[in-house]
């Protein structure tokens, strides 16, 4: 058998430990699949003494990830530290400069420096692989980079953050408030002490930026993403959506047209029975619409030690086999300048929630504003107030609507004096 592929791992947290588990359990069959044994010859982590359940005494220890990255003792550098800046960035750069292929699970690094790093890898004619950076155990990077090579994509979207999906699922299933479920998720370790990165949509945005470049051959541009988190989603929204045939999910969505690209992250009403609507709990799902393969959905475990390690291992095996692809499917120098599409009609329409003073003429006034703005209503749910004159919940779902018309209408509705609070909208995606 061919000689071992020598792997250096920087970062032995959840994913790194999962990779140790995986190689310990399946080393023999992986050698058959890779055509050669995979051997860990260098490691670097924060703590040298922490018990990770594996004997690491035979593996060379590095205190400095950049030293490991450029070491003569490794053939591949696996970066599992995370973070968009140093030490991850300098270590990955050092490995590439030294001509060593890189495998990384670091979505923040790629979202911010993906184009640059992909070009650097191309210059050296080596791999920069990142299956684990998007949707954990779901092979969406390989699928878009390789399997869909004969396609032009029109749209890619998905549920890319398990924490958010867990919270929204629990709220729906158990009829609990956002704050209540978030607190429980934190206690269970499903959400961070500071949950902003997840629930604010930023993690989803990092992953979406990578998918966008894979889908459309554009430079990575996370700054161009409109981001809205799930903090404002109420149990009432979920119940109203349910009554009108929808579920609420946090989606990352990227759409391309001749005018440019639109990237957005926001809570979304998705019709029940449509692809991602049944993706519940910590599961992730990604849908790609493309011209030859048609609509394709992948669903699976988007995070966790073992699923993510499975993705990292897949990237390592590709390198062991000498199977090289440009990071984003086409050579880095061919990635086009990112061009934002002008805002236009939102094809899917909107869900609008209003708190209405219960008095004669209120509904008529709202209806007139919408008609004036040429917004067409698909369905309405009004819940009676507890007593006459109190505040009524008034929700509606629109057909395809111009973004500008919707904003105009909401401003008028707010100033008309019939609503007790700021109107809220959630976009709908019909797949």
Contact residues toward its own copies (CB under 8 A) are 18, 22, 25-26, 29-30, 32-34, 131, 137-139, 142-143, 146-152, 217, 273, 275, 278, 290-301, 304, 306-307, 309-311, 313-314, 317-318, 321-326, 329-331, 334
- Output 323 or 340, the one with its CB closest to its own copies: 323
CA distance 94 to 90: 6
Query: Based on CB atoms, which residue is closest to its own copies, 222 or 312?
Result: 312
Dist. CA 135–CA 428, nearest whole Å:
22
In eight-state DSSP terms, residue 147 is I
Q: How many CB atoms neighbour CB 261 within 10 A?
A: 20
Token look-up 């500071």 returns 194
Output the CA torsion 199→201→204→209 (10° steps).
-160
Nearer to its own copies, 37 or 307 (CB): 307
On the question of a cis peptide bond just before residue 68, with omega within 30 degrees of 0, the verdict is no
With respect to its own copies, which residue has the nearer C-beta, 91 or 311? Answer: 311
CA angle 106, 79, 113 (to 5 degrees): 45
**Least distance (Å) from its own copies to the CB of residue 1?**
11
The SS3 call for residue 386 is coil
- Minimum distance from CB of 201 to its own copies (Å)? 24
Q: Which is nearer to its own copies, 138 or 208 (CB)?
A: 138
Residue 183 or residue 289: which is nearer to its own copies going by CB?
289
Contact 198, 191 (CB under 8 A): yes
DSSP state of 191: S
Least distance to its own copies from the beta carbon of 234, Å? 24
Q: Which residues make Cβ contacts (< 8 Å) with residue 320, sequence separation at least 6?
A: 5, 34, 35, 36, 38
Residue 241: which of 277, 215, 208 has the closest Cα?
Answer: 277
Q: Least distance from C-beta 305 to its own copies, angstroms?
A: 9
State whether residue 365 is helix, strand or coil: helix
User: Annotated catalytic, 207?
Assistant: yes
> How far from 46 is each of 43, 258, 303, CA to CA, in Å?
10, 47, 22
Residue of 207, 337, 339, 400 marked catalytic: 207
Query: Using CA atoms, how far apart are residues 275 and 12, in angstroms rounded to an integer?
Result: 35
Q: How far is the CB of 423 from its own copies (least distance, A)?
A: 33
**Dihedral pair phi/psi, residue 19, rounded to 5°:** -65, -35
Which residues are catalytic, by number?
207
């Amino acid at each position: 058998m061919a000689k071992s592929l020598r792997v250096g791992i920087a970062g032995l947290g959840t994913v790194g430990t999962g990779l140790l588990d995986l190689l310990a359990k399946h080393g023999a069959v992986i050698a058959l699949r890779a055509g050669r044994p995979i051997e860990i010859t260098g490691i670097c982590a924060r703590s040298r003494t922490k018990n990770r359940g594996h004997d690491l005494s035979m593996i060379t220890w590095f205190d400095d990830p950049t030293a490991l990255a450029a070491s003569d003792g490794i053939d591949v550098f696996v970066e599992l530290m995370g973070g968009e800046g140093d030490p991850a960035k300098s270590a990955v750069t050092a490995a590439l400069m030294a001509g060593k292929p890189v495998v990384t699970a670091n979505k923040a690094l790629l979202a911010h420096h993906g184009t640059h790093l992909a070009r650097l890898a191309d210059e050296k004619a080596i791999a920069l692989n990142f299956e684990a950076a998007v949707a954990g155990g779901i092979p969406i990077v390989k699928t878009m980079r390789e399997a869909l090579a004969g396609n032009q994509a029109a749209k890619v979207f998905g549920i890319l953050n398990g924490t958010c999906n867990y919270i929204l699922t629990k709220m729906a299933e158990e009829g609990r408030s956002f704050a209540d479920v978030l607190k429980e998720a934190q206690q269970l370790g499903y959400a961070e002490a500071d949950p902003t990165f997840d629930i604010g949509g930023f993690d989803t945005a990092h992953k979406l930026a990578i998918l966008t470049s894979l889908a459309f051959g554009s430079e990575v541009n996370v700054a161009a993403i409109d981001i809205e988190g799930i903090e404002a989603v109420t149990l009432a929204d979920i119940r109203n959506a349910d009554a009108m045939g929808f579920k609420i999910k946090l989606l990352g969505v990227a759409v391309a047209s001749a005018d440019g690209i639109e990237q957005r992250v926001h809570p979304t009403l998705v019709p029940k029975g449509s692809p991602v609507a049944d993706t519940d709990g910590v599961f992730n799902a990604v849908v790609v619409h493309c011209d030859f393969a048609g609509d394709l959905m992948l669903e699976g475990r988007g995070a966790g030690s073992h699923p993510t390690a499975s993705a990292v291992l897949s990237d390592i095996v590709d390198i062991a086999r000498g199977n090289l692809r440009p990071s984003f499917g086409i050579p880095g120098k061919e990635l086009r300048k990112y061009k934002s599409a002008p805002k236009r009609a939102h094809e899917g329409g909107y869900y609008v929630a209003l708190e209405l003073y219960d008095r004669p003429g209120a509904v008529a006034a709202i209806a007139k504003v919408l008609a004036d703005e040429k917004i067409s209503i698909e369905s309405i749910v009004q819940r009676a107030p507890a007593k006459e004159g109190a505040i009524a919940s008034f929700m509606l779902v629109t057909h395809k609507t111009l973004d500008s018309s919707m904003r105009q209408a909401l401003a008028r509705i707010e100033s008309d004096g019939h609503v007790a609070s700021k109107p809220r909208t959630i976009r709908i995606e019909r797949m």
